[in-house]
Amino acid sequence: MSDSDELSSDASTGGGESDAAARETTGIIEAILFASDSPLTAAKIAQVADLPQQRSVKDAIEELNARYADCGCAFRVEQVGGGYQMLTLPQYHDVLARALRTRAETRLSQAALETLSIVAYRQPILRADVEAIRGVSCGEVLRGLLEKQLVKIVGRAEVLGRPMLYGTTRRFLEVFGLGDLEDLPKAHQLRRPGNQKPTKTDPKPQSQGEQTAPQTPPPEAG
């Protein structure tokens, strides 16, 4: 191989390594922007990505936006408040507004979460049993969960008055990202170490020959 061929080969290899490094840098910047919920300055992105200069950030963002446009993606990297942030395109505003409204409708109060947890773990369960566990009336809360389609009536108990039994719905599984009820966290997974009650320990055994002074009752008042 001639010297010119070797130089050409080295240049080609170097160019490939340079392109790979550039793609990796672009991927890192994309990941940083994707994970951030607020605008990031070019200086901050360069610092997190361990880049020597901010120009690399701006070049990567231009490349990302060109790629997103070519692929017909619904978002771009935009300049907001002196920084960069991934934002959806304006034409998707109405759709996203409906999605966010649906999310708000499924937002639950503390009382609703407690009631829903009891139903999920104890189903099928009577309203009276839910109220016995919580210690408060749950009629309104259960009605709210029924309206949100997180709880449903699954039958009636074979007792006097045939009261209704409650259980969770498929919607409940979807909202909480569960495949089925077997995916519910177990009790030991929910218990934090700091919340465990201290256990009583046996008194330290006395060593051989060790004696303790007898405890005498206090003198009675004369």
Per-residue confidence (pLDDT) for residue 133, from 0 to 100:
94
CATH architecture of 110-184: Orthogonal Bundle (1.10)
Average pLDDT, 10 consecutive residues per value, the chain (222 residues)? 50 62 92 93 94 90 96 94 92 85 74 94 95 94 92 93 94 86 81 54 45 47 44
Asked whether the bond before 39 is cis by omega within 30 degrees of 0, the reply is no
Q: Do domains 13-91 and 110-184 have the same CATH topology?
A: yes
Does the pTM surpass 0.75? The reply is: no
Domains in the chain: boundaries: 13-91, 110-184
Q: Are 128 and 168 in contact (CB under 8 A)?
A: no
DSSP letter string, 171-208: HHHHHTT-SSGGGSPPHHHH--GGGSPPPP-PPPPPPT
Distance CA 130, CA 127 (A): 5
What is the residue whose two structure tokens read 């039994």?
Answer: 165
Which helix (H) or strand (E) is 166 found in, with range?
strand 164-168
pLDDT of residue 86: 95
Q: What's the CATH fold of domain 13-91?
A: Arc Repressor Mutant, subunit A (1.10.10)
Identify the CA nearest to 61 among candidates 50, 77, 48. Answer: 77
Yes or no: say if 85 and 39 are a contact pair by the CB < 8 Å rule: yes
Q: What distance in Å separates the CA atoms of residue 197 and residue 160, rounded to the nearest whole number?
A: 39
CB 166 within 8 A of CB 119: yes
